[in-house]
Structures are given as structure tokens and as C-alpha cells.
């Protein structure tokens, strides 16, 4: 988890922070992809080479070899030069598309909403490597369309980061939002095929990486809608496009709500009952199994455990749904016993399969959950 920084005056390397003036796309492209800046040495930098070539020889650091013997062959020099040229071409071309007329005009319309991730807004958190990793062309085009549709006003600072996605706090039409951006440049989703194959909702699966990402994002969006409709405590989804998912933000101005594993719970039995209620509601009412149920994927928000990361949830018709359900229950048993609650897989499994979910909670706790998750049919 990451929290916004309070306008630091200097960055990690001790350099003075850039002024808060808005940074436009031309400046950003120049900073990241200017071919001339890559091949030109910085002004005033002194050469590290010692002009007195005999010093190294006198120190015995050349193992008795002459400079001619240590020099690279012409073939090796050509190979290194080719590698360097390819690297520079890649760096100079990565962001060049932003200067194309059709893209430049698009981003001039929305760049004010990206000042947070460009590092010139109120939160100067930016790690350029993170920006390069997350905000590729597909992502920026998706954000552009979501901004034009009104789902996103601004994208500000990161609140969570993982192998599959980065999550940013932002602003939308109704206030604070979470913008979950799934990575498109790695192969991590190939390890998640078991949660997609066999799910009748996503037949005709293509195995290309980008298709997997799109399917996974749609799957998480659909699972959240399905869970919210039956009164389960998950974030409310607001929009989805390609690899970008916009949802309800759970937290305050200083940071997101903590994970269940990171907080001290007073009435642990009530929390345990709510978690059993969630599993039972998923199975009996939503027709789903979470598939990765653990304290890492549960936030503690306003006295309610809220389940996140539901992309891996599968329909009951999935060939491994029962296996995933037992695994979820085993993890819940582990959490319960670590908090002094005596239970068993058999006891929880019986309730999940047979006890009506509303009978698992006191009326006041059930009302609190329903007040939070009441689905707005107009959305």
C-alpha cells in the first residue's frame, strides 16, 4: 500500500523538485524519448577515463596484457553498437506516438486529469518506471475514453500495486474512485487460466495475452456486479474498458482502508460470521465461488469486512468450483483459529451449502451490510 506524499521539496536523489507548473505531453515525450538526449553526454560531466594510461599498467591491473590485446574485436564492437542503437531507438520511439496530431489533440483535452501520475499535481509520488510500466498506449487510450464518458475525472496517486495490476485513487462524477489498471506487458495472466477456462460465461477464450487481460477485467467487473446485486460487501463498479476498471474507492483522504490482516478486531466472532455470510451468499445467491479468499483480499472499512480482488471468482458450473470453495473455507478456518475461534471446514461448509445467508447474521449487522451494498438499479 502507498500513501500520498506531502509535497516533498526534494526527490530521492536530492534534486530540487520541479515547479508545480503543469507538464504537457510534449515535455513528457521529450523527457522520456528524445533521441538526442540519449546520445549526448551531459554538459559539465567529467570523463571517468584516466588520461594517464600507464597508471593501470603500473598497478598490475591488466594481467600483463597490452591495451591492444584487451581491446574488443571489430565484430564485438559492431554487435555492441547495434545493441546500443536498438536500445536508443526503442527509448526514443516509445512515447513518440503521443506527438502524432490525432493523439496529441486527444490528450490535450485530458492532461489536466493526469497531473497526479505525471508528477505535477498535489501528490509528487511519481516513479517514472511505474509510469512506463502501467501507462502504455492501450491504457492511455482507455483512460481517455473513460474520461470523456465521465467515469473518470482525475487519476491521482497509487493505493495498491501487485503483479497483475496497479490501483490509483482518482475522482469521478460521484466523488472518490479507485482506478485499477491491469498490466498488459507481462505474462502473469497465463497463470490464471484455470479461473477462466471452464467458466461458461467466458467461452471461446483466446490465448493471446492481451485478450486474457481484457477477459480478466471484464470477469472482475461482472463478478462485482453479480455480488453487489445480492447484497455482498464488495466495491461498486462504475465502468470498465479494455484493461482499466473503475470502481468505488474504499478509504479516506490519507489512504485506502487497511487489509483485515493489518488491523486489530475487537469482536472477532461477528467478523467471522460476516465472512461465512459472504461465502454462503456467493454460493447460494450469486452462484459464485471467490477462489482466493484470504485476509489479504479483505479490507476493513467502517466496521465491515469488504472483499476485493474478485476477478478469479468462478461460476458454480466451473469444473473446479467445489475445489476452490473448500480451499476458501480452509483459509477462513486458518484465520479463525489464529484469532481464537474454534471451527472446522465441515461446520463452515455445511452453513455455506445449506443455511440461508440471512440466518447467519444478527439483524443489525445484516442491516449495516445492506445499507452499504444496496444496489442502485439506475446505475
The active-site residue, picked from 309, 328, 351, 364, is 309
Give catalytic status of residue 309 as yes or no: yes
β partners of residue 180: 167, 245
- Give the integer Cα–Cα distance in Å for 34 and 221: 38
- Give the integer Cα–Cα distance in Å for 37 and 51: 26
- Give the integer Cα–Cα distance in Å for 340 and 89: 60
Find, among 249, 261, 284, 229, the residue nearest to 331 by Cα: 261
- Look at residue 319 and give its three-state secondary structure: coil
- Give the integer Cα–Cα distance in Å for 14 and 82: 35
Angle at 81 between CA 75 and CA 82, to 5 degrees: 90
- Give the integer Cα–Cα distance in Å for 120 and 129: 16
Give catalytic status of residue 292 as yes or no: yes
β partners of residue 255: 252
The active-site residue, picked from 124, 199, 292, 328, is 292
- DSSP letter at 284 equals I
- Print burial letters for 316-351: b (CB count within 10 Å at least 16), e (below 16): eebebbeebbebbbebbbebbeeeeeebeeeebbeb
Which active-site residues does the annotation give?
Answer: 292, 309
Amino acid at each position: 500500500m502507498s500513501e500520498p506524499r506531502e509535497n516533498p521539496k526534494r526527490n530521492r536523489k536530492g534534486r530540487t523538485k520541479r515547479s508545480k507548473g503543469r507538464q504537457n505531453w510534449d515535455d513528457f515525450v521529450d523527457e522520456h524519448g528524445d533521441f538526442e538526449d540519449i546520445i549526448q553526454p551531459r554538459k559539465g560531466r567529467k570523463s571517468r577515463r584516466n588520461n594517464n594510461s600507464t597508471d593501470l599498467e603500473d598497478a598490475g591491473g591488466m594481467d600483463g596484457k597490452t591495451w591492444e590485446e584487451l581491446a574488443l574485436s571489430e565484430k564485438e564492437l559492431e554487435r555492441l553498437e547495434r545493441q546500443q542503437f536498438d536500445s536508443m531507438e526503442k527509448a526514443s520511439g516509445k512515447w513518440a506516438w503521443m506527438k502524432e496530431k490525432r493523439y496529441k489533440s486527444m490528450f490535450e483535452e485530458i492532461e489536466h486529469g493526469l497531473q497526479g501520475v505525471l508528477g505535477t499535481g498535489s501528490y509528487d509520488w511519481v516513479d517514472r518506471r511505474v509510469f512506463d510500466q502501467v501507462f502504455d498506449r492501450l491504457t492511455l487510450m482507455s483512460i481517455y475514453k473513460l474520461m470523456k464518458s465521465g467515469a473518470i475525472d482525475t487519476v491521482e496517486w497509487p493505493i495498491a500495486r501487485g503483479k497483475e495490476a496497479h490501483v490509483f485513487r482518482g475522482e469521478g462524477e460521484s466523488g472518490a474512485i479507485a482506478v485499477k489498471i491491469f498490466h498488459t506487458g507481462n505474462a502473469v495472466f497465463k497463470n490464471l487460466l484455470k479461473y477462466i477456462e471452464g467458466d461458461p460465461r467466458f467461452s471461446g477464450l483466446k490465448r493471446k495475452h492481451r485478450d486474457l487481460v481484457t477477459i480478466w477485467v471484464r470477469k472482475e467487473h461482472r463478478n462485482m456486479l453479480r455480488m453487489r446485486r445480492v447484497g455482498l460487501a464488495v466495491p461498486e463498479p462504475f465502468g470498465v474498458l479494455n484493461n482499466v476498471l473503475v470502481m468505488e474507492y474504499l478509504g479516506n483522504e490519507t489512504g485506502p482502508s487497511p487489509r483485515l490482516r493489518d488491523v486489530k478486531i475487537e469482536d472477532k466472532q461477528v467478523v467471522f460470521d460476516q465472512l461465512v455470510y459472504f461465502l454462503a451468499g456467493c454460493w447460494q445467491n450469486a452462484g459464485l465461488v471467490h477462489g482466493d479468499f484470504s485476509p489479504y483480499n479483505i479490507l476493513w472499512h467502517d466496521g465491515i469486512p469488504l472483499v476485493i480482488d474478485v476477478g478469479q471468482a468462478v461460476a458454480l458450473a466451473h469444473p473446479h468450483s467445489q475445489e476452490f470453495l473448500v480451499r476458501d473455507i480452509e483459509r477462513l478456518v486458518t484465520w479463525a483459529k489464529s484469532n481464537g475461534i474454534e471451527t472446522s471446514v465441515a461446520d463452515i461448509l455445511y452453513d455455506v451449502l445449506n443455511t440461508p445467508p440471512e440466518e447467519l447474521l444478527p439483524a443489525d449487522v445484516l442491516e449495516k451490510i445492506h445499507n452499504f451494498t444496496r444496489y442502485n438499479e439506475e446505475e
